[in-house]
Amino acid sequence: MNKSIFFLLIFFFCLAPVSRAPAQETGDDAEMEALDEPPPPMPRQFRELALGMSLDDLRDALVRDGLFNFRGERDVSFLPVRQEALVETTGSSFIRRAHFQLFEGEVFIMSFTLDPRLVDHYSVFTALVNRYGQPLTLNPTEAVWEDDYTVVSIERPLTVKYIDRAVFDRLREEARTQEAWETLLREEFLAEF
């Protein structure tokens, strides 16, 4: 079978809605309850790395974890515009690169670019579907799962992101407010002509 046709079939299979067959009428209440159970909450942690952890805790966890090649302060950048820091490090084995974005001293985005020679998009997607159900958003560039606290996405070619929803929504709203303020100032300036 042609490789591109194979991947196209996998893509369409992923888009197809999943329907669960009803439990057989054996009176097995446990099986019925298992089908009705909501998926577990979205993960806020990968290994020892977690959303909400401090920069010092993040550094310590990266040093301890053999999956990352953290070089200390050389991998940490501070952004003066806001109280933000960015930690970028290479990985070994399954992870090529990892990015951690901090706001007010806490991690609010973790991004892991995986090595497609060792793990494929479909395997990661299937693992997340098996654990958390169908994604809320699915398109050719990304699949997104979310709950009230966390957003988890797989982006093509192969990046997995964990986002603290409350911090992300707050920053997005602040950006909108700033943009609206700048638009108002521009309109007032133009009105002076």
Kindly report, residue by residue over 136-180, the tens digit of the pLDDT. Answer: 999 999 999 998 899 999 999 899 999 998 887 887 777 666 666
pTM score: 0.69
- Side by side, the strands of the sheet bearing 150-155 are 76-79, 84-90, 95-103, 106-114, 159-164, 150-155, 142-146, 137-138
Helix (H/G/I), strand (E/B), else coil: 182: helix
User: What's the pLDDT band for 16 if we cut at 50, 70, 90?
Assistant: very low
pLDDT at 84 over 90: no
* Cα(6)–Cα(157) distance, integer angstroms: 17
Kindly report, residue by residue over 93-123, the tens digit of the pLDDT. Answer: 899 999 999 888 899 999 999 999 999 999 9
Kindly report, residue by residue over 37-50, the tens digit of the pLDDT. Answer: 777 788 888 888 99
User: What's the pLDDT band for 78 if we cut at 50, 70, 90?
Assistant: low
Ramachandran class of 144: left when φ > 0, alpha when ψ lies in -120 to 50, beta otherwise: beta
Q: What is the pLDDT of residue 45?
A: 83
